[in-house]
Structures are given as C-alpha cells and as structure tokens.
Amino acid sequence: MFTGIVEELGTVQRRDGCDLVIAATQVLEDVSLGASIAVNGCCLTVVEWDEGWWRAELSSETQSRTSLDRLVPGDPVNLERPVRLADRLGGHLVQGHVDAVGEVVVAAPDLVIRVPANLMRYLVEKGSVTVDGVSLTVVDVLADSFSVAVIPHTMSVTTLGVRQSGDPVNLEVDVMAKYAERLLVGYTGEVQQNDSGPTGVPRDA
C-alpha cells in the first residue's frame, strides 16, 4: 500500500525486454530482495540491486496495462516505497495497481487527463485520483476527462512537470469507490460492464 507521495525521481538506466533497471538512491536506503517500489504508480518487486540502482521484472500484464512498456533509458520515473503503519497518510490509500493508461490533454499546472470511459464513474469533484503514482485531488469532472491543479513543488519533484499533451499516464482510481460499487451490487442487482468483466472492478496491473 502506498500514499501517492513521491519520494524520489529516478531515471531509467536500462530496459531489456521485461527487465527494467532504474537509477535511484533514497528508495534503496532500506531495500531488501522482494521489496516493493512503486514506479509511476505501478507496484514492482525488487529482484536485484546495488549501489545507485535496482532491477525489476515486468510481467506481461504490467506491460499491457501500464505505460511502463514505453519507458526508454533516460526517462524520469516517480518512485515511492510502501507506507509503514507508523507513517502519516499524506496522500490517500494507493494500491500501486494501475487501472488504465490515460492521456494528457492539457499539461500542468492545470492538468487535464483523458480517461477510458469505464473509469469515469469513479471520478468525483474533490475526490482522489492517482496519476503516474502522484496523489491528486480532482478539480472538475468533464465528459471524458478530469482536471487537477498541480502546484509548482509537485511539478518540480515528479514527472508531472514534464508531461506534455498526448503523453500517456498511469491511472489508479480511489479503491474505496470500487469497493463501494462492489458492495452496492448486492443491494441493487445492477452489474456494471467494462473490459475486465461483469463486476465493475477492473483488473489491476
């Protein structure tokens, strides 16, 4: 579980098929084999590391459901370690399970993201959403997109400061909204359809 508060901007060092090597320092301070680190909002497992870098293996599901398959050496990436029970919850509860890839329509600071139709129902004004692993508050919900206000600090310490119109971004909607919908199905009998099946709860990456 994560909070959507990016700890460090890492850099893609190497990409070889399913192998992804990232240069980083802060997130490696207490690293161990099998540890989880979120990369642009996608929870990955540390399979190897040394001073200044770590390696993860991308599953076929991750490659098909996230924007990580498009990373190339030199790309910056948002990094976050899992939250500890004693930590402050500075953002919101983030699973690191990407729901879909959105598209930047308008660049930050007044960021507008186009969203797949099956996710629009989870977005509400002043609700939470995760964009490339960054916890943000929805300003407006539009017909096929939503807007958020990105402050200068967030632009300087995350990839949102360099995202341009047309760029892909990983999206994770608020898991509480998905659980609420799932529970209500038992009372209403209504089943939402989407590309992941009849439950209305998309498969995570």
Per-residue pLDDT tens digits for 41-99: 999 999 999 999 999 999 999 999 999 999 999 999 999 999 987 777 777 889 999 99
pLDDT at residue 111 greater than cutoff 60: yes
Q: Clarify whether residues 182 and 116 are in a common domain.
A: yes
Q: Clarify whether residues 132 and 177 are in a common domain.
A: yes
Q: Clarify whether residues 52 and 111 are in a common domain.
A: no
For the chain, how many residues are written?
A: 205
* Phi, then psi, of 180 in degrees rounded to 5: -60, -40
CATH number at residue 180: 2.40.30.20
Query: Mean pLDDT across the stretch 12-38?
Result: 97
Query: Mean pLDDT across the stretch 109-127?
Result: 97
Q: So what's the pLDDT on residue 192?
A: 54
pLDDT at residue 198 greater than cutoff 90: no
Of the candidates 194, 189, 182, 170, the one whose C-alpha atom is nearest the C-alpha of residue 42 is 170
Range of the domain at 55: 8-80
- Cα 131 to Cα 129: distance, rounded to the nearest angstrom: 7
Q: Which two tokens stand for residue 140?
A: 């407006």
Per-residue pLDDT tens digits for 162-190: 999 999 999 999 988 888 888 888 777 66
- Cα 22 to Cα 147: distance, rounded to the nearest angstrom: 30
Query: Mean pLDDT across the stretch 126-131?
Result: 96
* Phi, then psi, of 129 in degrees rounded to 5: -150, 150
Q: Clarify whether residues 63 and 125 are in a common domain.
A: no
Q: So what's the pLDDT on residue 189?
A: 67
Q: Clarify whether residues 39 and 106 are in a common domain.
A: no
- Cα 6 to Cα 153: distance, rounded to the nearest angstrom: 11
What's the structural domain count of the chain? Answer: 2
Q: Tell me the whole-structure pTM to 2 decimals.
A: 0.88
Residue 76 · residue 118 · CB < 8 Å: no
